[in-house]
Amino acid sequence: MSTSKHPFSKRFRGFYPVVVDVETGGFNAGTDAILECAAVLIEMDENGHLVPGETIAHNIEPFEGANIDPASLKFTGIRLDSALRMAVSETEGLTDIFKHVRAGIKKYDCQRGVLVGHNAWFDRTFMRAAALRAGIKRDPFHPFTSMDTATLSGACLGHTVLAKALKLANIDYDNKEAHSAIYDAECTAKLFCYLINERLRYAE
């Protein structure tokens, strides 16, 4: 029986990258609600190139006592009273997302997930706070390491703003669709794969 590991396991020192975007009720992870959460799994094709894979997303019910700044709702366009939201609890949403992340870690023989985000500290702190509130003990993401496409874009493209970085990478971006967790996560995933494949080539 072969014991060789998938090449992905060597690409990021055993880390499996997953692009995450959250839309929230404010900027404080301890007090403000997560309203939307989306995660894009990253795959590796037969040529060793990274490509965006499945998107797992949930609208999230604000936790009890959560702060929601009206300005945040105006900025994101989220309507909490919409019958189409079909929101789930933080526990249900994160448990489902984490299940898919663990499956990706196993598929590619990696050791742990690493959150990728545009200004990743924001998404990581909110995800971490929600996992602690939900009592989820097996958070698959590294507790403090993350990969930030804002930083990578600044170094490789000279711009840290998502829309400008996407334009420089020739990736379509519609401002009317922006600030949806799914749309922003999928655009960020495309940018991450572009930066790794085209700008940060890897040789063993």
Task: Give the model confidence (pLDDT) of 116-146 as tens digits.
Answer: 999 999 999 999 999 999 999 889 999 999 9
Give me the CATH code for the 12-198 domain, please.
3.30.420.10
Q: Find out whether 57 and 93 touch, Cβ atoms under 8 Å.
A: no
pLDDT surpasses 60 at 149: yes
Separation of alpha carbons 194 and 80, rounded Å? 34
Task: Decide if 142 is catalytic.
Answer: no
Among residues 100, 142, 159, 179, which one is catalytic? 179
Closest CA to 13 of 139, 142, 127, 166: 142
> Which pTM value belongs to this model?
0.94
Neighbouring CB atoms inside 10 A of 6's CB total 12
Place of tokens 């742990």: 112
- Tens of pLDDT, residue by residue over 97-113, are 999 999 999 999 999 99
Residue 94: its H or E element: helix 90-107
What b-and-e string marks burial along 110-149, b requiring 16 or more CB atoms within 10 Å of the CB?
bebbbbbbbebebbbbbbbbbbebbeeeebbbbeeebbbb
